[in-house]
Structure 1
Amino acid sequence: MKIFSAITLILCSILLVCCAAKNNNHENKKVEEPVAIDPALAAKLDTAYFASGCFWCTEAVFERVNGVVDVVSGYSGGTIDNPTYEMVGAGLTNYAEAVRIAYDPSVVTYELLVEFFYASHDPTTLNRQGPDVGKQYRSAIFYRTEAEKKSAEDRKDYLDKSGKYDSEVVTQIVPYTNFYIAEDYHQNYYELHPNQPYVYSVSRPKVEKFVKEYKDYLKKKYKK
C-alpha cells in the first residue's frame, strides 16, 4: 500500500507540473471582449455542450463554423462546485474540459454540430486525445433534450456501422448537468497564442484538418 501511495503521489505531481507548464506566463494575456449579440438574434439562439479533449482546440474548431455565434471554454460533467483548471487538469475531479456553443439553428443545425464534433477529434480513444491523457480529456456530448440525445446516438451508430474507424466510438452521451466557465486566460486561447508549442503542434493540425474537410460550412473570414 505504501508503494502504491508513493506512485500515486508521483503521478499527481507529474500531472500538476504539466498543468503548470500549460499555464506558465499566460495569466496576464489580454482576452478579447465577449461577443456582442443583437437582442433579436440572442432570442433565437440555442446552446450545445461538447467535450473532445483540450478545450483550446475544440473552441477554435467551433468558432469557425458559420452560424456559431459564441464559444466558451469551461468544465462540464462533474459534481463539485467551482472547479479550477489545476484541479481538473490533475484528474482530481470528474469534470471534462468542454465548450459551451451558442448557435443560430436557422443557420447550422444541432445535427451538423454533432457531425462536426465527431469529425474534429478521435472519438474511439477512451480518456485520451493525442498527448492528453485522463478522464478530463474524454469525448462526451452533454445533451439537454431527447432530440439532442437521439442526434448524438444516431451519429454514433452511423459511424460505428460505416467502418470509418477500426474501433468502436466510445463517446459518452450523457445528460447535461452543469457548466463552469474556465479561467479568463483559456478563452480564445488558440487565436491569442498561435505559436505556443502545444497549440502549434497539437491544436493547429486538428483545426486545419477540420477547415479543409468542412470548408463549405465555415464563416467567410476562415475560408481560404
Structure 2
Amino acid sequence: MSSKQQSPRQSQTASPVPQQPAPRSLIASKVSFGIDETKLLRDLEHNYLGIEKISRVHDRDGKPLGSIRIDFKSENFAKPILGQNYILIDGNRCPVRPYWAPTCHRCHKEGHHVSECPQRPLTEQRLNELFSHQQIQLESMMNAFENKWNTRLSSLTAPSKNPNVDQLVPIFKELTTVCQQFNQQNVQIQQQLGTVVNRIRDVQMNLTNEQTRTQLPLQNGH
C-alpha cells in the first residue's frame, strides 16, 4: 500500500476532540422576583429578537431563584448578548452566562441524562445487536463504494490519447487502496468491540461467582 497504516492507539490519539456547540440558551442572574414570566417575556421580546421561551430557575427543592433561563431560536441571537455579558430586563443590566442543556450519551438527545434515558440500556445483547448492525452498514457502504470506483476504473484502463484521462488512472487505483484500508480498519474496530464484549462476559461471570460464594455460607448455616 502507498500510505502507512496507523495503529489503533495512534488513530485514537489523532482523533479530534469534539467541540462544544455554541450555546443558544443563557442564564440571566439578579432578576427581580416581582416580575412574572409573562411580563419578562414581553419585556425581553421588546428589546431582543429570536427569543423562543423563558423560564424561572429553581433549586433542587423547587424554590425559585433570582435567575431565569432564556432560550433563543439559534445561537446567532444569543451570541451578541453573551458578548456584552449582560441583558436588559426591566431597565436593569442582568449578568448572563451560557447554558447548555444536558445531553444523553446513550441516545445523544438533549434534555435528560443517561440515567433518565427512555431507550433500552446497553446490555450485552443490545451491544451485539449494535455491532451486527454496524457491520452490515459498513459492508454495504464498502461494496457500493468499491463497485462505483471499479466501474470508473475499468472504463479508464484502456489506452487513451488524452493525457488528462491517463493521469486519472493512478488516482482511481489509489481509491481502491483506500477501500482496502477502510475495510482493514473496520476489522480492527470489530476486534476492539469484540474485546469489550468479552470483558462484559468476564464481569458477569465474576459477579455470578461472587454471588455463589456468598450464598454457600448461608446454606451451610441452615
Please give the TM-score of this superposition, normalised by the length of structure 1.
Answer: 0.25
Please give the TM-score of this superposition, normalised by the length of structure 2.
Answer: 0.25
Quick check: which has more Rg, 1 or 2?
2
Which of 1 and 2 has higher RCO (CA within 8 Å, sep 6+)? 1
